[in-house]
Amino acid sequence: MTREMTGAKMIVQALRDQGVDTVFGYPGGAVLPIYDEIFLQNDIRHILVRHEQGAVHAAEGYARSTGKPGVVIVTSGPGATNAVTGLTDALLDSIPLVVLTGQVPTFMIGSDAFQEADTVGITRPCTKHNWLVKDTDKLSSTIHEGFHVATSGRPGPVLIDVPKDVQFATGTYQPPKPSASHYQPIVKGDMEEITELVAAIETAKRPVFYTGGGVINSGPAASQLLRELVEATGFPITSTLMGLGAYPASGKQWLGMLGMHGLYEANMAMHGCDLMINIGARFDDRITGRIDAFSPKSIKAHIDIDPSSINKVIKTDIPIVGDVAHVLEDILKVWKSRGRKVNHEAIAKWQGQVEEWRSVKCLTYATSETTIKPQYALERLEALTKDRNRYITTEVGQHQMWAAQFLGFEDPNRWMTSGGLGTMGYGTPASIGVQIAHPDALVINVAGEASWLMNMQEMGTATQYNLPVKQFILNNERLGMVRQWQELLHGERYSQSWSEALPDFVKLAEAFGAKGILCTDPKDLDDAIMEMLDYDGPVIFDCLVEKHENCFPMIPSGKAHNEMLLGQAETQGVIQSSGAVLV
Amino acid sequence: MSALHIKKGATKHSAYNLRPNFSDTQERHTITVLVENEPGVLARVIGLFAGRGYNIDSLTVAEVDHTGHLSRITIVTTGTPQVIEQIKAQLGRIVPVHEVTDLTVAGPFVERELAILKVVGDGEKRVEALRLADIFRAKVVDSTLHSFMFELTGAPDKIDAFADLMRPLGLTKIARTGVAALLRGE
Ligand SMILES: Cc1cc2nc3c(=O)[nH]c(=O)nc-3n(C[C@H](O)[C@H](O)[C@H](O)COP(=O)(O)OP(=O)(O)OC[C@H]3O[C@@H](n4cnc5c(N)ncnc54)[C@H](O)[C@@H]3O)c2cc1C
Ligand SMILES: Cc1ncc(C[n+]2csc(CCOP(=O)(O)OP(=O)(O)O)c2C)c(N)n1
């Protein structure tokens, strides 16, 4: 079935045919025809944000918590440039997005027209792919291709730039056609390599699963298969920041997060293992630390859908290009058919070693009766919310790391954080996107006060749509993560790392039509958290915490996994100048 | 299929060797990339090299299949084996890329470049330039009483050698197309 219609109508029809129920956006001159069409229909809900960056992060939250692509509509020029941070964020964290931007009419492109920007030029390096559509007849097929590219292979953001005359002109609508695209990434792994990995699993003495965001990207089946494989082999498992929830935090084999602020047992297991099975993680520098000292004695297997992730940083012995769920299914099949073998004796000994590392209790912190320790605040938040239908977003900084350490995730798609780009200001709009997708769930943004201020305008969106998002701000009145680095690396010269002239968050909440709660005393904390949870509406929770707490464990830049700092006492002069150049 | 044809068993032997040895030696590779001939595709390839700090020694591009809207980009690059593998994998990720072939690995291939050189001089030098041009099978495509313009096709090192010889004989300008290359055999 093909039909004649305007470009603007086509956009709405194409979104409908792609199963889109929600778009996040902000209008302007170059997208007015599209907004007209949005006005005239009821199938697709438009969420009006307060800033285009917010629209993109909200779409990211929506996408990560549902597994569906997030959709954004913004205007030309400043609308598009405001979206750039969100696009880059989604690219680094492999989040599928389809972003539609308005553009000046084709006959004015290149003339420095009002609100003209070279959007495809600006966003080429921060999208998986982008298109400028100059012909209305090609608009619908380009949008369908955009959804295909955003969601297949390694997911990522795509952008489609639509000049205003193309929106007004009439053309022929093409419905989605399966496999119209030449872009068809490989999903099945090579059976020879898979068999080699199975053989390594059968004989490994000190194996560890190192899992990442790719498990979440692959979908719920991947998490199920991962759980099956972990239970059946008895191997310990750790995950990156991006993969939390793929394996349950309550699981017996769970080591906790690894990496720069990862758990002692996780990093020690990575350092000492003889078989490392990387499933959908990308050997990020927060993980590897010093490359030449990274897990020196292990055979490394790497399952990744993107061939460029393999051997980018760490030399891989068993490379498997494919989708996590497909590959895990084949691994299980081959492993079972060969008799479900593991080296039980050695594994039992390895588990004993892991228990020894666990007994170090690396997350121990100095408690206080008088000030709220940020770790304590998160422990209480965890205790009071873990049995609820809960989704967590975060901002970026110490609070983000503490959230990863102290909150437990039992399922995938429950944890939304900006990992690769580390975008302060991500959490508030992301929490809004999550709440839109899951109206009845408890959605909490664990924030630092500095990050939170970066996109706080989105509280307006929360109140407009009556979204009961809980902004849980661990307020240390410092750019805490920066302050920590200055303390350890720059001789305690705290250059510009204070949050001065902070607003009164309770009054701010009220000004936005939300509820504000201030908590300063550990004794009041539980009641205050319950008050937040019981309130049916958006809340800003100002939790005044210890100002100079540092986040441990920490692997200083340029150090190896077994050179982790466990606490304040170990920090003297540990980071040398060679490490200081690293971020 | 992904642009990177990772065939069964291919990871061990093929052009897309995912098990490289990470040596430090700089290698020169000629890579051809078949791309959808759409706006911006060259910018994507160049942007990739610029953004990730890879070298481009030579780059040529032209449409090779008008009905299929396909262009072939030929890139000569240098890097360590690890960087070369990354370059190929990163090229393979670009959505409009259909095929990436590393000719240096895939087998014997023919590499050609066209150059036009202007040599200005009189007397002995002029005679010598003409004599050398003859040896190199360069064609005279323009001449004045005091200059020649030579056209020369060949592998890049042949052109380098010819240009080196022409320099003392009055080489004033040179234009080169960059490398076009294809695998030998069927
Ligand atoms: C302040 C701060 C501190 C941080 N500290 C830490 C830390 O201590 N520990 C930590 O872990 N992280 C930390 N991070 C996050 C870190 O920067 C990286 O974002 C993160 O480690 C990357 O996670 P990942 O390897 O799982 O890769 P992702 O970015 O999630 O990438 C996913 C990988 O899986 C592949 N993939 C995608 N889909 C599929 C599929 N279907 N099948 C197979 N493969 C697929 C992709 O190609 C990619 O290689 C920190 C971030 C910040 C901001
Ligand atoms: C947009 C942006 N700008 C700057 C940074 C650098 N940065 C990383 S963490 C941090 C401090 C964050 O402070 P806050 O939000 O209060 O969290 P805390 O570390 O105190 O928990 C800064 C400035 C960043 N990640 N993102």
What is the per-residue pLDDT across A139-193, written as a single tens digit (0 to 9) for each?
A: 999 999 999 999 999 999 999 999 999 999 999 999 999 877 899 999 999 999 9
Nearest CA in chain B to A308: B89
Domains of chain A in start order, with CATH, are: 3-173 (3.40.50.970), 191-358 (3.40.50.1220), 381-544 (3.40.50.970)
CA–CA separation, A461 vs A47, rounded Å?
A: 8
pLDDT of residue A349: 98
The pLDDT tens digits for B29-49 are 999 999 999 999 999 999 999
CB A447 within 8 A of CB A428: yes
Nearest to A256, CA basis, from A210, A293, A224: A210
State which ligand 2 atom lies nearest to the alpha carbon of A449. Answer: 16
Q: Residue A564: which residues within 8 A CB-CB, separation 6 or more? A: A264, A267, A362, A553, A554, A555
pLDDT of residue A290: 87
Residue by residue, DSSP assigns A24-55 as EE---GGGHHHHHHHHT-SSSEEEE-SSHHHH
B8 touches chain A (CB under 8 A): yes
The CA A399 to ligand 1 mean position distance, Å, reads 18
pLDDT of residue B8: 35
State both tokens at A336: 């079972």
Quick check: helix, strand or coil at residue A71? strand
pLDDT of residue A572: 63
B82 touches chain A (CB under 8 A): yes
The interface predicted TM-score of the complex, written ipTM, equals 0.91
pLDDT band of residue B15 (cuts 50, 70, 90) is: very low
pTM listed for this prediction: 0.95
pLDDT of residue A577: 58
Cα of A548 vs its chain's centroid, Å: 27
The pLDDT tens digits for A321-377 are 999 999 999 999 999 999 999 999 999 999 999 999 999 999 999 999 999 999 999
CA–CA separation, A181 vs A328, rounded Å?
A: 26
Domains of chain B in start order, with CATH, are: 27-106 (3.30.70.260), 110-183 (3.30.70.1150)
Which ligand does the CA of A399 lie closest to?
A: 2
Q: Is A114 a catalytic residue?
A: yes
CA–CA separation, A50 vs A58, rounded Å?
A: 11
pLDDT of residue A199: 98
Return left, alpha or beta for A39; rule: phi > 0 is left, psi -120 to 50 is alpha, else beta. alpha
**In chain A, which stretches have pLDDT less than 70?**
1-2, 572-580, 583
Facing residues of A239 across strands?
A211, A257
CB A275 within 8 A of CB A292: no
pLDDT of residue A567: 86
Q: Is A115 a catalytic residue?
A: yes
pLDDT of residue A136: 98
pLDDT of residue A77: 98
| Catalytic option among A9, A68, A128, A164 | A164
Nearest to A8, CA basis, from A157, A153, A159, A133: A133
Q: Residue A458: which residues within 8 A CB-CB, separation 6 or more? A: A49, A50, A51, A54, A58, A428, A429, A432
Q: Residue A184: which residues within 8 A CB-CB, separation 6 or more? A: A152, B1, B2
Residue matched to tokens 């002029």: B126
pLDDT of residue A509: 98
pLDDT of residue A561: 83
Residue matched to tokens 């690219």: A91
State both tokens at A79: 């609308």
Which ligand does the CA of A497 lie closest to?
A: 2
Beta strands A515-519 and A470-475, pairing class? unpaired
pLDDT of residue B13: 33
Q: Which of residues 144-183 of B touch A (CB under 8 A)?
A: none
B39 touches chain A (CB under 8 A): yes
Chain B residue numbers with beta carbons less than 8 Å from the beta carbon of A183 are 95
